[in-house]
Amino acid sequence: MKNFTSEITYKTSRSSGAGGQNVNKVETAVTAIWNVSESFYFSDEEKVRISDKLKNRINSEGLLQMTSSESRTQLANKKIVTEKMLEMVEKSLFIPKYRVKTKPSKRQVQKRIDNKKKLSEKKDNRKFKF
């Protein structure tokens, strides 16, 4: 996991929700902003991959923005939003393994059919025949 926290800029704003007077006078909500295209920590291929995977969160200027107002303190919200951003970028860089489709062998298919026939015969023998 690459640590690109030095490229992230932060903005603070007033949180909404519970907190009483603290909400009205203290800017505790933190917005993290990161310019994907101007990053030095990632290659061009990685930047394209990040942009494709996170296109819903990246605005028209190419900025990835995330906001946190979970905590009552600015420092905690800054930590939360940074961790979320790092985790999201790491997940977007993950390349899943290509699944090779396989078929059961002829022997396995025949064995399964034979087992089905045996079971069918067994159940058929339980029935009363006139």
- Its domain, for residue 65, covers 1-129
**Chain centroid, CA 90 distance in Å:** 9
What are the pLDDT tens digits along the chain (130 aa)?
688 888 899 999 887 766 667 667 778 899 999 999 888 889 999 999 999 999 999 998 889 999 998 888 889 999 999 999 999 999 999 998 999 999 999 999 999 999 999 999 999 989 887 7
Burial class of 28 by CB neighbour count within 10 A (0 to 12, 13 to 18, 19+): buried
Cβ atoms of 75 and 83 within 8 Å: the answer is no
Mean per-residue pLDDT of the chain: 89
**Bridge partners of 12?**
30
Number of domains in the chain: 1
The CATH number of residue 44's host domain is 3.30.160.20
The model's pLDDT over 64-95, given as tens digits with 9 standing for 90+, comes to: 999 998 888 889 999 999 999 999 999 999 99
> What's the rounded Cα separation, in Å, for the pair 49 and 9?
22
